[in-house]
Amino acid sequence: MKRRLFLQSSSAVTALTALPLGAFAQADRRRELLIVANELGPNSLDIHTVGANRPSYGVSWVCYDRLLTFGAKRLPNGVMSYDFSKLEPELAESWQVASDGMSCTFKLRRNARFHDGTPVTARDVKWSLDRAVTVGGFPTFQLKAGSIEKPEQFVVIDDYTVRIDYLRKDKLLLPDLATPVPSIFNSELVKKHATEHDPWALDWTKNNVAGGGAYRLEAWRPGQEIVYVRNDNWTNGPLPKIRRIVQRDVPSAGTRRALLEKGDIDMSFEMPPKDFLEMAQAKGRVKVATVPIENALWYVGMNVKSAPFNNPQIRQAVAYALPYERIYEDAMYRRAEKMWGGPAHAPDASWPQPHPYVYDIPKARALMKAAGAENGFETTLSYDLGNATVSEPTCILIQESLALIGIKVQINKVPGANWRGALLKKDMPLILNRFGGWLNYPEYFFFWAYHGQDAVFNTMSYQNPAMDKLIDASRFETDHQRYVADVRGFIDIAWNDVPRVPLAQPALDVAMQKDVQGYRYWFHLQPDYRQIFKS
């Protein structure tokens, strides 16, 4: 069977199980082809589109460039990771912050080209940043976290020089430019597909790539596969060693594990923690890389804008009724960090840190009685099917435990492709979700997850002006003692009002063949194929 026919196969499971690696040319198999199987793929090719899911971030990361990127470091367990403390050039070959600290000028690489051969210019950079701060939703809020807010901030000096004017001094501004959101688009190509009702051509970029990154899109069959081919003309970093990547959607975790252990695929994410634990312990042909996800939490969120979760005593009752240890043991298989049973008040400004709640059914019942809900109520607990390997057993354990305090829970399974859209409606009463902040600061996490001014991932619709004031102050505080006081203050409010109950800090597990080298952990949790090679 030729590779082309393999890529055109309509069934991920059938194609992968029927086709042994020996069917490929030996040199191609060893060095140039990477076959990846994940639970689900992207629902959009453009991170700026509404409801773009996490796999969509991976498309942005390898098919587009940004002005800046992060350096690398080796973690104590030997796994390579990005280095948040070190910014490096990508599309910009250099940058210079003004002496007054109120602007930064970027010099672009003169040999950078988009996939169609068009030169990348400062006009493309401005248009792309204008778009990101204008389209609304997640992209706009992401850049706002770094005080990148208005098109007027982006000034074209000449074809290869662009300046960003600061609204205020913000330590997050430059790191924010190295996240997937401020990707640089081929503006003239995209504008050809704009309409009066779609001025940024989001409908077109949802299904087409207009970038200049290290990989080009060769094929995308939603629900089946996405195929990348190396952009041999890429000059914004070391040319990747892997020429073609086939990333298949294989919903069954058992199938993905079998394919890995047979050697029919090279890499997989998103399997049950039990599988990762067993493969790591087996020390067979498959190796497992594990990294605690920075600034991230599994949590139970309660929508505080409507009854019954608008009552803080109800929310506290839920916090005391969650079976933390059982979830940690039976759903997460201890491949996470415990986030319960901490002190009554935040001891420092670290994040994440354990909250003070523990499993205590008598205390939960007492709080239900005090809230006037002694007879209980019915509600719906929703979760993302894309994270079902952990979410489903966790929801079942929560359902069983909340029944002990009179809360009758119906479980709602939301397809992974629809989860982000459902989440952003902020109308689900009770959710299980995993959220992580890209930039590794506690105030960044809270800006996204708790801030009352329409924070995108404030999925609880929580508003507390006192917390907002502390979050805003900490973002720009330069005095360390006052900064620590601000952070401890908003953490204490979160524990007292408890609109969301953290369960654990998740770990990112990646299983791969032993000849796969160069894997690097990134904050956006998507594979960066640019560094991977085969020994």
- E strands, 358-406, are 377-384
d(CA 382, CA 395): 8
Please provide residue 116's backbone torsions phi and psi, each rounded to the nearest 5 degrees. -90, 5
CB 508 within 8 A of CB 270: no
Tens of pLDDT along the chain (535 residues)?
334 333 333 344 444 444 444 444 555 556 799 999 998 899 999 999 998 988 999 999 999 999 999 999 999 999 999 999 999 999 999 999 999 999 999 999 999 999 999 999 999 999 999 999 999 988 999 999 999 999 999 999 999 999 999 999 999 999 999 999 999 999 999 999 999 999 999 999 999 999 999 999 999 999 999 999 999 999 999 999 999 999 999 988 899 999 999 999 999 987 889 999 999 998 888 999 999 999 999 999 999 999 999 999 999 999 999 999 999 999 999 999 999 999 999 999 999 999 999 999 999 999 999 999 999 999 999 999 888 889 999 999 999 999 999 999 999 999 987 998 899 899 999 999 999 999 999 999 999 999 997 788 899 999 999 999 999 999 999 999 999 999 999 999 999 999 999 999 999 999 999 999 999 999 999 999 999 999 8
pTM: 0.85
- 516-517 and 161-165: which strand pairing? unpaired
Structure tokens at 92: 């910009």
Structure tokens at 420: 């982000």
CB 201 within 8 A of CB 46: no
All structural domains of the chain, each given as residue ranges with its CATH number in brackets, are 1-63+213-285+514-535 (3.40.190.10), 65-188 (3.90.76.10), 296-507 (3.10.105.10)
Number of Cβ atoms within 10 Å of the Cβ of 29:
17
d(CA 332, CA 334): 5
How far CA 439 is from CA of 164, 347, 384, in Å, comes to 20, 22, 24
Residue type at 92? A
Classified as helix, coil or strand, 309 is: coil
